[in-house]
Amino acid sequence: MNLLPLKLQNNNTTMQKKILLLGSGELGKEFVIAAQRIGQKVIAVDSYENAPAMQVAHGFEVINMLDGAELDRIVAKHQPDFIVPEIEAIRTERFYDYEKQGITVVPSAKAANFTMNRKAIRDLAAKDLGLRTANYRYATTKAELENAVAEVGMPCVVKPLMSSSGKGQSTIKTHEDIEKAWNYAVEGSRGDIIEVIVEAFVNFHSEITLLTVTQNNHPTLFCAPIGHRQERGDYQESWQPARVSEKDILEAQDMARKVTEALGGAGLFGVEFFLTDEGVYFSELSPRPHDTGMVTLAKTQNFNEFELHLRAILSIPIPEITLERIGASAVVLASENSNNPTYTGIEKVASLSKTDFRIFGKPTSRPYRRMGVVLTNDTLDTPIEEVVEKAKKTATLVTVNP
């Protein structure tokens, strides 16, 4: 039996590509699985061994991705067709050189550079494109933070320019909160940039993620909006579809189209918005599958977000994205530090109908670290609140043991 990898043919040219995945967490793992299913080759890279995506990739590298020389070394070693970033802590300015070498950076070197830094993407959205955003300032010292807070007012939100999953994010309600917010932001910052963005608090009634798919030579597509709830700056539950008025969804789609077109390239973007009585506010953007988009693993769509990202990258046409059922995801969090976490309660989850789960396979745990996700779905006429509550309760059945 011939067990060689699948090679798709298009005008007598092989479509099997080599992908260098920079960042190998749970989102990267699902992306690798999608790539494996259609015969692509993936080398997973992260700062530690046995990261989730490494467990399913063809090969792996362990490096500090903020080291430009190390990045250059592995790019030269593997000669990938595509470089796919999954995290923020990367020496992204090197991407421009890789593009000049003929390597496709996903979605583009510009997109990766702008969106890995909240300053660049916010200025692009607010100043260049004129999108509605919260009033904001920047600060590189505690003294500058104090001035910024005075200008935007309290309450306000402080975030590192480079971070992920809510790390370093906090809310300032009193003057006494400023020093603590500064220290927490510095501690949670990724990369070597010590700077924060200070945002005036937006009085929103809900927030959504709009998964936006840009394609080569095909129109931009949008998934049904995803609602989510956060704690400590990190999502706890997400659901699809979120309830959004037609006026707001059209405004969000217009904003998402403008900002993704300005960034260029092909791939899936997670564009976040606040919904208010005054309209839609642009919040943030990720140039890759989004953590709240893990709800699409509940079979809510004809293609999940990882499959969409891959198809857009490879220029495989996506004729449409259809909502097949409603769904929800709820995170499984660790409560203790461990070098060898185990899990109990999985059999209880597996016994429930219209329910699934993912254990990410992270080799270590720490308090509040996301270790897995529970997924629920139901028919389109089922109230979304029911599947969200089911996911939330079901996630509590899983215990991460040290």
How far is 315 from 312, CA to CA, in rounded Å?
5
β-pairing verdict for 279-286 and 326-333: unpaired
How far is 28 from 33, CA to CA, in rounded Å?
9
Q: Which residue among 104, 115, 170, 292 is the active-site one?
A: 292
Q: Which phi and psi (to 5°) does residue 106 adopt?
A: -100, 130
How far is 316 from 162, CA to CA, in rounded Å?
32
Q: Which residue among 86, 88, 251, 272 is the active-site one?
A: 272
β-pairing verdict for 399-401 and 342-344: antiparallel
One-letter identity of residue 395:
A
Q: Which residue among 92, 115, 133, 164 is the active-site one?
A: 164
Q: Which residue among 86, 199, 237, 284 is the active-site one?
A: 284
Rounded alpha-carbon distances, angstroms, from residue 48 to 59, 65, 82, 86, 348: 14, 11, 22, 14, 32
- What does the angle CA 320 – CA 322 – CA 327 come to, to the nearest 5 degrees? 150
Could you tell me if 335 and 327 are in contact, meaning their C-beta atoms sit under 8 angstroms apart? Answer: no
Q: Is 272 a catalytic residue?
A: yes
Q: Is 13 a catalytic residue?
A: no
Could you tell me if 228 and 292 are in contact, meaning their C-beta atoms sit under 8 angstroms apart? Answer: yes
**Does residue 341 have a cis bond before it (omega within 30 degrees)?**
no
Helix (H) / strand (E) containing 307: helix 305-313
Q: Which residue among 94, 190, 311, 370 is the active-site one?
A: 370
Which residues are CB-neighbours of 245 under 8 A, at least 6 positions away? none
Q: Which residue among 86, 88, 177, 291 is the active-site one?
A: 291
Q: Is 370 a catalytic residue?
A: yes
One-letter identity of residue 279:
G
Helix (H) / strand (E) containing 21: strand 18-22
Q: Is 291 a catalytic residue?
A: yes
Q: Which residue among 39, 166, 233, 345 is the active-site one?
A: 166
How far is 195 from 193, CA to CA, in rounded Å?
6
Q: What is the DSSP letter of 285?
A: E
Could you tell me if 43 and 301 are in contact, meaning their C-beta atoms sit under 8 angstroms apart? Answer: no
SS3 call for 51? coil
By annotation, the residues acting in catalysis are 164, 166, 272, 284, 291-292, 370
